[in-house]
Amino acid sequence: MTEAKTTTDHNLIRKWAEQRGAKPASVEGTGKKREPGVLRLDFDPKDKELNEISWADFFQKFEKEKLAFLYQERTADGSVSRFHKFVQR
């Protein structure tokens, strides 16, 4: 496995996701009122338990929860990696 990196840079996170076809999303039923719940990135095929949200809403929640993005660019064999998770800063 190649080395994982961590960032809080919104532009880098968005670019990484969009290069892999991912959309910002929230887990259905985990939010309060109009606030997104647990954050996820939704890749094709679309996950029915995720609700797509705007990047603005995504990053507002990201900052409120003081999250960081742990990700990998490439797998050990050199393929594009989709490995990621959201961690506490």
CB contact burial 7-36 (16+ within 10 A = b; e otherwise)? eeeeeebeebbeeeebbbbbeeeebeeeeb
Per-residue model confidence as pLDDT tens for the chain (89 residues)? 578 999 999 999 999 999 999 999 999 888 787 889 899 999 999 999 999 999 999 999 999 999 999 999 999 999 999 999 999 99
Residue 30, pLDDT score = 86
Which residue intervals of the chain are DSSP H helices?
A: 10-19, 55-64
* Secondary structure percentages of the chain, helix, strand, coil, to 5: 20, 30, 45
Q: How far apart are CA 24 and CA 26, in angstroms?
A: 7
Per the structure, the complete domain to which residue 28 belongs is given by 5-88
pTM, full prediction = 0.90
Residue 33, pLDDT score = 76
